[in-house]
Amino acid sequence: MASRRSLGSRRWAGLTALVFVTAGSAFAHDVRGTLTGADALSPAPRTTPTRWRGSFWEVPNGALAITSPRANVERDLAVVLTGSSVEQSRQPVTVSVEGGRCRPGTVLLSPGTTLTLDNQDLLAHEFYAVRTGQEERVVPAEVTAVRTRRQVSLPAAGTYELRDARQPSFRCWLVAGAGQGRVLPPDRTGAFVATGLEDGSYTVKAYFEGVERASAEVAVAGRETTVTLAIGAASAPASAPVSAPATPAEAEEQRHHRRRDH
């Protein structure tokens, strides 16, 4: 008799737990979103020192056309969800560098969060960080060898540029600030999703090159919700300064780089 009672109690407890789980899942919903207009985004122009221009095909050479780079939605855009039920993310963040570019192109994190730079390239990098618009290095340059990692931490809230002393065209934007919630990586079509959200109000923001480009308020109430973020065209960049003609020594160095690259 005692064993039957015990068995009945276990069955009742299991049924009760099942009811609780089912009831709790009824209040968890998804937000599905789409980024539009991203094809109009253009990366900001970079000023490369004269001595590097022959190597990076930034001067006419009669062989290759100089084309303007375009944004890659999956790699260059970052989407973040914030709200009362979304905890501020303090988990370590990893940035992968491969093919001379970082992924994601804009990294969202909280001040003091450990940032791991994972060099997946077949060459070494010498990363350092500056505040956007400034040149003082808040993270000193240090060599990160092939297939190795380096951990850094940003000193305070703000927008920073991660650069490479060995590759002048490299840029990666780091946005550190309060309220950095759940990051929602978009796919190549611009689609993203946040799952398991409680009913309430949320904010979805999209960043490109460290700048907030779109924001939308989302109300989750009893069902799946959809949202569209219109990125729009990027603001017209300032005209690049006209460089002075290369000196004979600089011209000879450019020819040397061209011969070396061939």
**Ordered DSSP codes for 179-220:** T--EE----TTSEEEEEEEPSEEEEEEEEETTEEEEEEEEEE
Cα 81 to Cα 218: distance, rounded to the nearest angstrom: 10
Q: Where do we find the tokens 């600030």?
A: 177
Mean pLDDT of 142-146: 96
Question: Between 142 and 66, whose confidence is greater?
Answer: 142
Percentage of residues of the chain with pLDDT beyond 90 = 45
In this predicted structure, what is the pLDDT of residue 126? 96
Read off φ and ψ for residue 40, nearest 5 degrees.
Answer: -90, -5
The CATH architecture of the domain made up of 39-232+248-261 is: Sandwich (2.60)
Instruction: Give all strands (DSSP E) within 21-156, no chain letters.
Output: 29-36, 77-83, 93-98, 101-103, 106-109, 114-119, 125-131, 137-144, 149-153
Q: What residues form DSSP beta bridges with 259?
A: none
- Which of 18-32, 46-60, 236-250 has the lowest average pLDDT? 236-250
pLDDT tens, position by position, 11-46: 444 433 333 333 344 568 999 999 999 888 877 765
In this predicted structure, what is the pLDDT of residue 234? 44
**Does residue 211 register a pLDDT over 80?**
yes
Read off φ and ψ for residue 41, nearest 5 degrees.
Answer: -80, 140
Mean pLDDT of 196-200: 92
230: confidence class by pLDDT, cuts 50, 70, 90: very high
- Which of 37-41, 96-100, 131-135 has the lowest average pLDDT? 37-41
In this predicted structure, what is the pLDDT of residue 86? 86
